[in-house]
Amino acid sequence: MNILTFRSNEELNKAGAGILTGMLQTNPRAILGLATGSTPIGIYEELVQIYRQGLVSFSKATTFNLDEYVGLDRSHPESYYYFMQKHLLGHVNVTPEQCHIPNGMATNLEEECQRYDSLLEQAKQIDLQLLGLGHNGHIGFNEPDHSLIRGTHVVKLREQTREANARFFNTPEEVPSHAITMGVGTILKAKMILLVVRGIDKADIVKQALQGPITTEVPASLLQTHPHVVVLLDSEAGSKLA
Ligand code: F6R
């Protein structure tokens, strides 16, 4: 695991966007696993700038998002579909066919999970999976539990997660109770994982995830078993590491 700590958000964003750019430059057909939330926004902004300078193309890439809220239409400003259009996919040369996000409005959610898994199976392996980290150690929306699920599934969000995400909604009640998430099996199958964490409020969970015991109660601790993980931290998130 290669852990890099940055003094400024700007440097961290440049490093993250640089890794994604390098991936697409060396493998234009790269399959990218993408995340939402506040953490990757600066990286996506930087990547859009690099794209506008003509230094990177997405024309042959494929993207798979980690998760989507259940019950939010694509046009809802807090849906992850909307987020991805707003921050990255709406600004670069991709067609809708290249970009995959679970459909949280599917009438049959089980079938939707199976559909997503078969697309992931056809793609074989994600080349680079970008991850943020939840305060409770979740990756995607794989919440702490006695056991974790390998493939795409519907998850009931923990109160802590709903509270953390309430900042994006008008009222806390509006935060959806469920989401569809890629499973940890799919995440761990990625060739390379890029975990990005910012802020003092995540310093404890960063320590637990990267240096604590490997346990499904801290889903991100499973990343310790992966052969190719790069972690980008701001100095606050990294402040409790040994
Ligand atoms: C988002 C996702 C989540 C977030 C995590 C951190 O697609 O899968 O695991 O990465 O909740 O969220 P932020 O970045 O908002 O602190």
Write down the ipTM of this complex. Answer: 0.99
Q: Select 2-195's CATH number: 1.10.10.350, 3.40.50.1240, 3.40.50.1360, 3.80.10.10.
A: 3.40.50.1360
Query: Which atom of ligand 1 is found nearest the CA of 67?
Result: 7
Q: Is 138 in the pocket of ligand 1 (CB under 6 A)?
A: yes
Residues in the chain with pLDDT values less than 70:
none
CA distances (Å), 240 to each of 39, 198, 235, in order? 19, 13, 9
- Residue of 13, 65, 136, 165 with catalytic role: 136
- Does the annotation mark 143 as catalytic? yes
Query: Given this model, what pLDDT does residue 181 score?
Result: 98
Burial (CB count <10 Å: 0-12, 13-18, 19+), residue 106? middle
Alpha-carbon span 64 to 220, nearest angstrom? 19
Query: What are the tens digits of pLDDT across the range 218-238?
Result: 999 999 999 999 999 999 999
Please name the amino acid found at residue 105: M
Q: Is 79 in the pocket of ligand 1 (CB under 6 A)?
A: no
| Torsion of the alpha carbons at 85, 91, 93 and 97, rounded to the nearest 10 | 10
Question: Could you tell which of 72, 141, 160 is best to mutate to test the pocket of ligand 1, judged by most ligand atoms within 8 Å of the CB?
Answer: 141
Question: Which pLDDT score is estimated for 53?
Answer: 98
* pLDDT computed for residue 209 by the predictor: 98
Check if 67 is active-site: yes
Cβ–ligand 1 distance for 222 under 6 Å, the answer no
Residue 237's pLDDT is: 98
Q: List helix spans (H) across the chain.
A: 9-26, 41-52, 80-87, 109-123, 159-165, 184-189, 203-211
